[in-house]
């Protein structure tokens, strides 16, 4: 029983089971770890640099059409630019490319094994003790060291 729910009776994919697993992954700090792992090198990727340049150019071009005056409503101008950037679609496209360059390469060899290990331990506590340890990659070792420092 977990939180008054018999997990053994729940079929795979059951929304209640999925919710419990996601909450468990969060309490284990995996989502924060994955976020840190991805943010650590995002600003070095071409997709991020390209998106940043495109947004900078878009904003500069828009601002070049406005004459500064002390009476200029900066908040209104900022919100207008934000709406124009959102409507342009460049963020959606750029973020998709960033995800492809930053997240996708990590999914199978970093994220999935860690999620599977935590889920197996959640569903069958104590069952993962006998499993052979897979050597960690340098990135995983670094991440584990960071996590241990934070605990």
pTM of this prediction exceeds 0.75: no
Cβ partners under 8 Å of residue 115, min gap 6: 25, 30
88, 58 contact by CB (below 8 A): yes
Per-residue pLDDT of the chain (151 residues; tens, 9 = 90+): 455 556 667 788 889 888 998 999 999 999 999 999 999 989 999 999 999 999 999 999 999 998 888 888 999 999 999 999 999 999 999 999 999 999 999 999 999 999 999 888 888 877 655 444 444 454 444 444 443 444 3
């Amino acid at each position: 029983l977990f939180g008054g729910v018999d997990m053994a009776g729940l079929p795979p994919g059951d929304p209640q089971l999925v919710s419990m697993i996601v909450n468990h992954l969060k309490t284990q700090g995996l989502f924060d770890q994955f976020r840190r792992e991805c943010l650590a090198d995002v600003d070095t990727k071409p997709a991020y640099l390209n998106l940043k340049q495109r947004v900078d150019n878009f904003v500069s071009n828009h601002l070049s059409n406005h004459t500064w005056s002390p009476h200029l409503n900066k908040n209104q101008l900022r919100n207008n630019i934000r709406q124009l950037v959102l409507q342009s679609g460049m963020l959606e496209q750029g973020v998709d490319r960033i995800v492809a360059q930053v997240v996708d390469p990590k999914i199978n060899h970093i994220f999935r094994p860690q999620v599977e290990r935590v889920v197996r331990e959640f569903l069958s506590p104590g069952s993962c003790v006998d499993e052979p340890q897979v050597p960690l990659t340098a990135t995983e070792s670094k991440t584990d060291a960071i996590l241990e420092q934070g605990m």
